[in-house]
Amino acid sequence: MKLVKLLANLGYGSRKEVQRLIRAGTVTDINGKVLGENNVPPINQILFRGEALDPPSPLVIMLHKPDGFTCSSEDPGSTIYELLPERFALRNPGLNPIGRLDKDTTGLLLMTDDGILLHKIIHPKSKCLKVYHVTLDRPLEGHEADVFSSGTLLLASETRPLLPAKLEVLGEKEALITLHEGRYHQVRRMFASTGNHVTGLKRISIGGLQLPDSLEEGSWRALEPEELARIFA
């Protein structure tokens, strides 16, 4: 790929801006040699203002989503895109969340620019289970695990029952719930159907991939290939 197109696709600017930046000598190889529009060394040997380029497509990142950020690019308030480098919003193809989280849900959010991978992960057939840590307003009554695992629970205004979900009680008002699917406000609506109210919700894993302790709230990083494989393990 031509250098101008490569950098423009990574969001470093429009083609015109990138062309200007290349002509100004801001793009070099790892030995400091200024690159022209027709020099394209391997991408891991290109520096922009002395810094390695962002990873090219296909890219998968994990974000530790904080409370108060929406998973939409169009929300007038704070969006998850504000937690990423500004130029990520200009990437082509763009990064999309793999299964959205509500504004007040925290935890593991994967994002990718690979549409096929995105659908593979969110499709119930792929069996990438999602685990959430739930904090409740009122004590659990004891019947919730049976209701959620029944495979017959019908949420308000839906016609298809939920797939069985596993509930693991951690305390009076605290549990882990494992889902096979990702319907709108699913966990909150499941507990609402039992007369309870979710006060805190955090996604802690997707498939075999856990939210690492080392990833602070609001931080992100690209997935290692073995972490990507773990999603399907």
Maximum C-alpha span of the chain: 68
What's the rounded Cα separation, in Å, for the pair 18 and 14?
Answer: 6
Q: Two tokens at 180?
A: 């096979």
Residue position matching structure tokens 């929406």:
70
CB of 106 to ligand URA, least distance (A): 9
Please give, one letter per residue, the 3-state secondary structure of 188-207. Answer: HHHHHCCCCCEEEEEEEEEC
Q: Which amino acid is at 223?
A: L
CB of 167 to ligand URA, least distance (A): 14
CB of 113 to ligand URA, least distance (A): 22
Cis, peptide link before residue 93, omega less than 30° from 0: yes
N- to C-terminal Cα distance for the chain? 34
Catalytic residues: 102
Minimal CB distance to ligand URA: which residue?
A: 105
What's the rounded Cα separation, in Å, for the pair 177 and 154?
Answer: 17
Residue 34 to residues 20, 39, 43, 83, 149: CA-CA distances in angstroms? 13, 9, 14, 31, 61
CB of 85 to ligand URA, least distance (A): 24
Closest CB to ligand URA among 12 and 132? 132
Closest CB to ligand URA among 10 and 109? 109
Q: How many CA atoms lie within 13 Å of 101's alpha carbon, on the beta-carbon side?
A: 28
Closest CB to ligand URA among 162 and 187? 187
Closest CB to ligand URA among 11 and 182? 182
Binding site for ligand URA (CB under 6 A): 101-102, 105, 185-188, 201
